[in-house]
Amino acid sequence: MLLIPRIFEKPSKKPKIEKLDQLFIDYLEDLTSFCDKNYSNYNFYNPAIKLRRFLWDIFASNYIEVVKPRAYNQKGNFSAQESDSAKWTLHFLLERMLSLFYPIIPQITSLVGKAKNLDLLFSDFPTANVGDSNLSLVEDLIGFNSQVWKEKKEKGISLRDPIGGFEIPGRLKDFEKDLKMCHGID
């Protein structure tokens, strides 16, 4: 998480956001609304559980892995706009997570925020802009990723190496290019 600002420069202006990126933005916007409601009632436990799950199980283990090829774009398979969408979204998600975690772990989030020139102490809590993405697609994406990674492990294939025999499920077709590049699906 700390490497995002060091590896990927945030685009100077917001690019056209790709559907996969918008899905994760909308997911975190929904989580922002949840945190705001709970923090207002001095409930920090439930947001902490959901934030931890988002950080480790959704963001780090799935979103970053899927968009990494697009953000790096080393093979030139993506347009500059597609790559910038991934970079901008990585920064947005990191900054928003820092704001959401701040009421629970202010010292750590302040240190990370300082590296991004964010002063969380004097920042307003973010207002949720709940989108219209089908948030259940996040779970579908996690399930698909797990299936591919399990198959590669069982066959002794490196996660970096290509694999055949997988078809992108219909519900995930909007993310097909990212999923094929991430998993090396032929």
- In DSSP terms, 39 is beta-bridged to none
CATH value of 16-183 in 1.10.760.10, 3.20.20.100, 2.70.98.20, 1.10.730.10: 1.10.730.10
Q: Determine the pLDDT at residue 4.
A: 74
Q: Looking at 21-25, 137-141, 160-164, which range is the least confident one?
A: 160-164
pLDDT over 90, % of the chain: 87
pLDDT 10s digits, 114-146: 988 899 999 999 999 989 999 999 999 999 999
Q: Determine the pLDDT at residue 5.
A: 65
Evaluate whether 67 touches 3 at the Cβ level (below 8 Å).
Answer: no
pLDDT of 178 over the 70 cut: yes
pLDDT of 6 over the 80 cut: no
Phi, psi of 124 (to 5 degrees): -75, 150
Q: Determine the pLDDT at residue 1.
A: 55
**Burial status of residue 161 (CB atoms within 10 A of its CB: 0-12, 13-18, 19 or more):** exposed
Look at the pTM and tell me if it is higher than 0.85. yes
The mean predicted confidence, pLDDT, of the chain is 94
State the DSSP string of 58-90. Answer: IIIIIIHHHHHHHHH-TT--S-HHHHHHHHHHH
Mean pLDDT within 100-108: 96
Q: Which residue has the tokens 């920064």?
A: 91
Mean pLDDT within 61-70: 96
**Burial status of residue 124 (CB atoms within 10 A of its CB: 0-12, 13-18, 19 or more):** exposed
pLDDT of 163 over the 70 cut: yes
pLDDT over 70, % of the chain: 97
Q: Looking at 102-106, 113-117, 133-137, 150-154, which range is the least confident one?
A: 113-117
pLDDT 10s digits, 74-92: 999 999 999 999 999 999 9
Mean pLDDT within 98-106: 97
